[in-house]
Amino acid sequence: MLRTVTCGELALNNLGKEVILAGWVASRRDHGGIIFVDLRDRYGVTQVVFNPESLSPDCFQQVSSLHSEDVIQAKGKVVHRPSGTENSRIATGEIEIAASEIAILNRCPSLPFEIIEEGSVSESVRLSYRYLDLRRPGMQRNLILRHKAAVAARNFLSEQGFVEIETPLLTRSTPEGARDFLVPSRLELGKFYALPQSPQLSKQILMVAGFDRYFQLARCLRDEDLRADRQPEHTQIDLEASFVEPEDIQALVEELVNRVQQAVLDKPLDRKLFPRITYQEAIAAYGSDKPDLRIDSKIEDVTDLFAGSSFEIFRKAAAEGKRVRSLAVSQIELSNTQLKVYQEKALELGAKGLAWIKVNGAEFTSPIAKFISPEILSCLAEQNHIKQGVIFFVADEPVKASVILGIFRLQLAKEFNLISEKSLNFLWVTDFPLLKYSEEEKRLVSVHHPFTAPRPEDISFLDSEPLKVRGLAYDLVLNGTEIGGGSIRIHSSELQKKVFSVLGIPEQDFQEQFGFFLKALEYGAPPHGGLAIGFDRLIATLLGLESIREVIAFPKTQKGACLLTNAPAEIADKQLKELGLRLAIPKPT
RNA sequence: GGGGCCGUGGUGUAGCGGUUAACAUUCCUGACUGUCGAUCAGGAGAUCGCGAGUUCGAAUCUCGUCGGCCCCGCCA
């Protein structure tokens, strides 16, 4: 070993010990005679003192030439720092190393940015020199905590009898879902593998195989546009179990998340933080299928109150079967100009209009107040639990009205800083519809994926009223972000074929694309279900980070580029030829 | 595919029609034996992302382009 101790472990109980340290020069303070070097590795920082009296002139010359981030090895004795010169800000601050020898293991040129200082370096520079960026304390902490979370998840699932099984990265392309990344086959020219969007079919087949509890920290690859919380490759804690009901998976995942949080934040979850609401309730009350419950406001239905008012627009809407929905935001003040901006935004979102009432105790200010009796005004305030602030109203189809108010709910919370950043708010959203109509494709598509089981009592509606069929699906939502999604799967080949045909996929097509899977289901597939957690998102949220790039060692930019390696890159003509490919676009210069 | 913000010494910023392009830090040289973001003195380092246009004159205004970020679409 080139070292006997790390830079973070020495303390007063090591006094007098001869040690060898190795690490990076974090800083050098040259006093002409005596020279201090802060030596850093991922465990900490130790001050090494080079005194010309106890060092050969040759060695001292080398110390004088040190620069930031040079890699050195220092030999010396652990000594007590002179009284008054202790540094309480570092763990090793009571001791220092009186150096007797130094070896320079490697040099470092002047840096594009400082390693010590946190913050303000543009992200593109950070990514170009990711090895230096990762050397900084913030990224070291993020990746180490990510590792601890992964260990905690593995240990917990293993304790619960789950078996970690790897599934292929080279698999076949299937329709439905995200765009696939494709890999050309050399052995069968003209054919392609696809990289998996998730190990969905593999893990279901493992259930058929009798591995009744499977998990994997799985890479998932999707060729779609990037966002702060989306990378072309991300990691899921993917799990699946046989003979389970939704509640079994949910209880397991709650404990899993608890363990992960314990590992990352060193404090357990409050189990009361896992309410369950149905998709219908979520849309109605929050205008979203992933509501952020850190925000107090809830959307109310006030149609009945307006039904008896003389406010013609809402009364008429109510008579036509539309709903009047309201959103109250307490403790805010909005000028008429600001309100106008929201009204315009409502129109952009397709609302017929946006009404508002400013509330201040028993005082109501609004252009529509004169149409509403004082009794109804106070009922509105009471139903919306508001004493001071603003109530917004939208009259429309129920879902549309709620969705628009839901967008305002998020925007106002952000604008007025109504979200407490520290809190972690988990919930389950259940009973998603199985299917939705896609305007783009002019057919029904799955809300989750085509393998989600319909609720048994709704199966009979698959032909007659497919949009009414609910799935046995459940999403785990954290602070307004979907961090996990799962379901009970279809285990009957017949029902699976039925769902494919409801999706409008011709039998010939699904037999060709999913025939292997339908066949597997026939051979004694057990009832099964599972879930996948977006691991990057979970860690980023637990750490209070805006972007998952902060918890990924080598992320891509928004254009999908790696600034470190310059991937993606052109390939040699020879490689194309070997694969039987020819570019249909001009060669980039 | 669309909308928005940003691009000025190595790094982070200021300047927003005429400046010797400013400040901090890094870097280089020198001084200094108890510092710890060492200090002090001196110095170097920028054709203002790139291209075109407007103008007597462009870092500054306009258009295009490249790159980064945020968002919509997309992400079962």
The pLDDT tens digits for A42-56 are 999 999 999 999 899
Distance A131 CA to B24 C1' (A): 25
Average pLDDT value for residue range A519-545:
97
Hey, which bits of A118-270 come out as E strands?
163-164, 182-184, 192-194, 213-221, 233-242
Q: What is the pLDDT of residue A464?
A: 94
Q: Decide if pLDDT at A304 tops 70.
A: yes
pLDDT band at A209 (very low <50, low <70, confident <90, very high): very high
Considering only CA atoms, which of A394, A469, A425 is closest in space to residue A290?
A: A425
Considering only CA atoms, which of A530, A448, A435 is closest in space to residue A491?
A: A530
Q: Decide if pLDDT at A18 tops 60.
A: yes
Residue-level length of chain A: 589
Q: What is the pLDDT of residue A310?
A: 83
Q: Which residue is nearest to nucleotide B12 (CA to C1')?
A: A120
Distance A234 CA to B5 C1' (A): 27
Distance A589 CA to B52 C1' (A): 21
3-state secondary structure of A327: strand
Distance A129 CA to B66 C1' (A): 20
Q: Are strands A388-396 and A435-438 parallel, antiparallel or unpaired?
A: unpaired
The pLDDT tens digits for A424-454 are 899 999 999 999 998 888 889 999 999 999 9
For residue A589 the two structure tokens come to 């210069």
Considering only CA atoms, which of A534, A458, A540, A544 is closest in space to residue A502?
A: A458
Q: Which DSSP state fits A82? A: P
CB atoms within 10 A of CB A205: 18
Q: What is the pLDDT of residue A422?
A: 75
Q: How far apart are CA A448 and CA A118, in angstroms?
A: 40
∠ CA(A184), CA(A186), CA(A191), 5° rounding?
50
Q: What is the mean pLDDT of chain A?
A: 93
The pLDDT tens digits for A105-140 are 999 999 999 998 666 899 999 999 999 999 999 999
Q: What is the pLDDT of residue A59?
A: 92
The alpha carbon dihedral of A70, A71, A76, A79 has a sign of positive
Nucleotide nearest to A222 (CA to C1'): B75
Q: Decide if pLDDT at A588 tops 70.
A: no
What domains can be seen in chain A, in order of their start residue? 12-106 (2.40.50.140), 140-276+426-573 (3.30.930.10), 295-415 (3.30.1360.30)
Reading phi first (left if > 0) and then psi (alpha if -120 to 50, else beta), residue A177 is in: left
Largest CA distance in chain A: 97
Bases in strand B with any atom closer than 7 Å to a protein CB:
1, 10-13, 25-28, 31-39, 67-76
Considering only CA atoms, which of A307, A317, A378, A389 is closest in space to residue A353?
A: A317
Distance of CA A225 to the CA centre of its chain: 15
Q: How far apart are CA A37 and CA A49, in angstroms?
A: 6
Distance A345 CA to B3 C1' (A): 14
Distance A31 CA to B9 C1' (A): 29
Answer yes or no: are the C-beta atoms of A40 and A26 closer than 8 Å: yes
Q: Decide if pLDDT at A226 tops 60.
A: yes
Distance A32 CA to B43 C1' (A): 20
Nucleotide nearest to A436 (CA to C1'): B76
pLDDT band at A587 (very low <50, low <70, confident <90, very high): low
Average pLDDT value for residue range A376-398:
93
As for the ipTM of the complex, it is 0.93
Q: Are strands A95-106 and A44-50 parallel, antiparallel or unpaired?
A: parallel
The pLDDT tens digits for A85-108 are 999 999 999 999 999 999 999 999
**Peptide bond connecting A568 to the previous residue in cis, omega within 30 degrees of 0:** yes
Q: What is the pLDDT of residue A128?
A: 95
Nucleotide nearest to A27 (CA to C1'): B36
The pLDDT tens digits for A247-291 are 999 999 999 999 999 999 999 887 766 999 999 999 999 999 999
Nucleotide nearest to A119 (CA to C1'): B12
Cα A108 to Cα A26, A37, A43, A467: the distances in Å are 12, 15, 21, 63
The pLDDT tens digits for A462-509 are 999 999 999 999 999 999 999 999 999 999 999 999 999 999 999 999
Q: Which DSSP state fits A586? A: P
